[in-house]
Structure 1
Amino acid sequence: MITVTAKAAEQIKQSAKQNQMEGMPLRIAAKRDENGSIQYAMGFADQQDDHDVTYNSEGVSVMVPPDSVELLKGATLDFVELEPGQHNFIFLNPNDPDYVPPKDEGDGSHYL
Structure 2
Amino acid sequence: MFKLTPAAAEQVLKAAKQGNAEGMSLRLAAEQKPDGAIEYRMGFEDSIQEDDIRFQSEGVDLVLSPEDVPLLDQATMDYAEVEPGKMHFIFLNPKDPHYKPPSDG
TM over 0.5: yes
* RMSD (Å), alpha carbons: 0.7
- The residue number in structure 2 matching 1:10 is 10
- The residue number in structure 2 matching 1:68 is 68
The one-letter code of the counterpart of 1:92 is: L
- The residue number in structure 1 matching 2:40 is 40
- The residue number in structure 2 matching 1:104 is 104
- Deviation of 1:46 after TM superposition, in Å, equals 2.1
- The residue number in structure 2 matching 1:93 is 93
Q: TM-score, structure 2 length as denominator?
A: 0.97
- The residue number in structure 1 matching 2:79 is 79
Name stretches of at least 5 consecutive residues in structure 2 with no aligned partner: none
Is 2:47 the counterpart of 1:54?
no
Spell out, residue by residue over 1:21-50, the C-alpha distance to the aligned partner (whole angstroms, 9 max, x if none). Answer: 101000000011111111100000120111
Q: TM-score, structure 1 length as denominator?
A: 0.91
Partner Cα separation in structure 2 for residue 74 and residue 5 of structure 1: 13
Name stretches of at least 5 consecutive residues in structure 1 with no aligned partner: 106-112
Please state whether the residue corresponding to 1:101 is helix, strand or coil. Answer: coil
Please state whether the residue corresponding to 1:77 is helix, strand or coil. Answer: strand
The one-letter code of the counterpart of 1:11 is: Q
Partner Cα separation in structure 2 for residue 36 and residue 85 of structure 1: 30
Higher relative contact order (CA 8 A, sep 6+): 2
Report % sequence identity.
49
Q: Aligned pair count?
A: 105
> Which is richer in strand?
2
